[in-house]
Amino acid sequence: MYGVVSTKYEYLRIAPQDAVVLPNSNDKGGLVYMTGKETGVLKGGTTVREERDAVFAVIKEVNGERKVTEWRETTLFF
Domain that holds residue 18: 2-77
Q: Which residues contact 73 (CB under 8 A, 6 or more apart)?
A: 53, 54, 55, 56
**Does the pTM of the predicted model rise above 0.75?**
no
Q: What is the pLDDT of residues 53-78, one digit of tens each?
A: 899 999 998 998 889 999 988 877 65
Structural domain count of the chain: 1
Q: What is the pLDDT of residues 24-43, one digit of tens each?
A: 988 888 999 999 998 888 88
The pLDDT of residue 43: 87
pLDDT band for 18, please (50, 70, 90 cuts): very high
pLDDT band for 5, please (50, 70, 90 cuts): low
